[in-house]
Amino acid sequence: MNKPFLGSPQNTIAVLQKYNFTFQKKFGQNFLIDTHVLDKIINSAEITKDDMVLEIGPGIGTMTQYLACAARQVIAVEIDKALIPILEDTLSAYDNVTVINDDVLKTDITALAVEHNGGKPLKVVANLPYYITTPIIMGLFESHVPIESITVMVQKEVADRMQVGPGTKDYGALSLAVQYYAKPYIVANVPPNCFMPRPNVGSAVIRLTRHKEAPVTVEDETLMFKIIRASFNQRRKTLANGLNNSPEINLPKELITEAIEELGKGAGIRGETLTLQEFATLSNIISGKL
Task: Give the tens place of pLDDT for each residue, 143-177.
Answer: 889 999 999 999 999 999 999 999 899 999 999 99
SS3 at position 36: helix
Q: In the chain, what are the domain boundaries?
A: 9-210, 221-289
For 187-229, write each residue's pLDDT tens digit: 999 999 998 888 889 999 999 999 999 999 999 999 999 999 9
Question: What pLDDT score was predicted for residue 5?
Answer: 67
Averaged over 67-91, what is the pLDDT? 94
**Order of all β-strands in the sheet with 203-210:** 97-101, 73-78, 52-56, 122-127, 147-155, 203-210, 182-190
Question: What pLDDT score was predicted for residue 126?
Answer: 94
How confident is residue 28, by pLDDT bands cut at 50, 70 and 90? low
Instruction: Pick one of 3.30.43.10, 3.40.50.300, 3.40.50.150, 3.40.190.10 as the CATH number of 9-210.
Output: 3.40.50.150
Question: What pLDDT score was predicted for residue 54?
Answer: 98
Question: What pLDDT score was predicted for residue 4?
Answer: 47
Task: Tell me how crowded residue 49 is: count the other CB atoms within 10 A of its CB.
Answer: 10
Question: What pLDDT score was predicted for residue 3?
Answer: 42
Distance (Å, rounded) from C-alpha 148 to C-alpha 121?
A: 5
Indicate the average pLDDT of the chain.
91
How confident is residue 27, by pLDDT bands cut at 50, 70 and 90? low
DSSP secondary structure code for residue 128 in this structure: -
Determine whether domain 221-289 maps to CATH 1.10.8.100: yes
Q: Residue 96: is it exposed, middle or buried by C-beta count within 10 angstroms (0-12/13-18/19+)?
A: middle
Q: Answer whether residue 105 shows pLDDT above 60.
A: yes
Averaged over 97-111, what is the pLDDT? 95
How long, in residues, is the chain? 290
> Looking at the whole model, is its pTM more than 0.95?
no
Q: Answer whether residue 1 shows pLDDT above 50.
A: no
Q: Answer whether residue 2 shows pLDDT above 70.
A: no
Distance (Å, rounded) from C-alpha 34 to C-alpha 32?
A: 6
Distance (Å, rounded) from C-alpha 267 to C-alpha 92?
A: 63
Distances (CA, A) of 27 to 80, 132, 179, 185, 288: 8, 9, 27, 26, 44
